[in-house]
Homo-oligomer: A and B are copies of this chain.
Amino acid sequence: MQVTNTIEKTRELVNNWKKEGKTIGLVPTMGYLHEGHASLIRRCREENDIVVVSDFVNPTQFGPNEDLEAYPRDFDRDSALCESIGADLIFCPSPVEMYHDPHAFVSIDTLSDTLCGKTRPIHFKGVCTVVSKLFNIVKPDRAYFGQKDAQQLAIIRKMVLDLNFDIQIVGCPIVREEDGLAKSSRNTYLSCEERKAALCLSKAVKKGQELIRNGITASEVLEPMCEIINSEPLARIDYVSMVDALSMQPVDSVNADVLVAMAVYIGKTRLIDNFSYEV
């Protein structure tokens, strides 16, 4: 497995692989890899000749009061995990390698106005820009994203369609701890007590999955979910919403494919979870 820190060196490797006719899969990550990432890398390994993992905590997707500085990092552990799964390359650039005097950007309207985009107004502009950059650097045939960041996945799919990236976007299921908590690098922020309280998210998801059916109203699904979360003293709801699976706009009832998504603060830690439903 190779490790690159520069765009130039990465491009050189990529262009050689391309010349040899090899297919390339990309797993974009912010590092501190967990089983969720591992499942993406494994899927990527199965489907491509070359597996590239990018490991970059992208500063432009963090707001001024968010956890950029605190975001956990452990490159040696990430590297060992990637190697064990058989990745060919980790691309691990510095912020200054990725951004010097940046002016051009990629963004998306409407889909980024709801859910996490409401609380994190610059987040998806940062995501779209860095993912576009990674696409242009790594030139993958396929790129792998987790369903846990469901709005991100919907936005990337729409961006790829609108900007005509010739890349297949593969969405992969949420990976959970044994007790149900969705795997997240941010789970490391939780105290022992908070870790228990955080179960209210996956319990609410389970409740919503039990209730949802064609034609049901949003409030009939969301209210019992909110009750579960609100009964947990350490939890504070940011949002619990039902949106159209493509447009990310709120819906009143289940008449087309929907996403039911939530963001909940457990103490100071903001966690997300969701489920999708196809009519």
Contacts and interface: CB of A to CB of B under 8 A. Distances in A.
Interface of A: 7, 11, 15, 19, 21, 102-111, 128-129, 132-133, 136-137, 139, 155, 158-159, 161-166
A125 to B, nearest CB: 10
Contact of A21 (B19, B110, B158): B19
B104 A107 contact: yes
A136 B163 contact: yes
A185 to B, nearest CB: 25
Contacts of A103: 108-111, 158, 162
Most chain B beta-carbon neighbours within 10 Å: one of A11, A104, A109, A161: A104
Contacts of A137: 164, 166
A245 B201 CA distance: 53
Contact of A164 (B21, B109, B133): B133
21 contacts: A11-B166, A15-B166, A19-B21, A103-B108, A103-B109, A103-B111, A103-B158, A104-B106, A104-B107, A104-B108, A104-B158, A104-B161, A104-B162, A105-B107, A105-B108, A105-B109, A107-B107, A129-B163, A133-B162, A133-B164, A136-B163
Number of identical monomers bound together in the oligomeric complex? 2
A111 B105 CA distance: 12
A190 to B, nearest CB: 34
Contacts of A15: 166
Nearest to A160: B104
A232 B71 CA distance: 63
Contacts of A110: 103
A19 B19 CA distance: 8
Given A11-B166, A104-B163, A137-B166, 9 more contacts: A103-B109, A103-B111, A104-B128, A104-B158, A106-B163, A133-B164, A136-B163, A136-B165, A139-B166
Contact of A104 (B19, B21, B136, B159): B159
A103 B160 CA distance: 11
Nearest to A246: B101
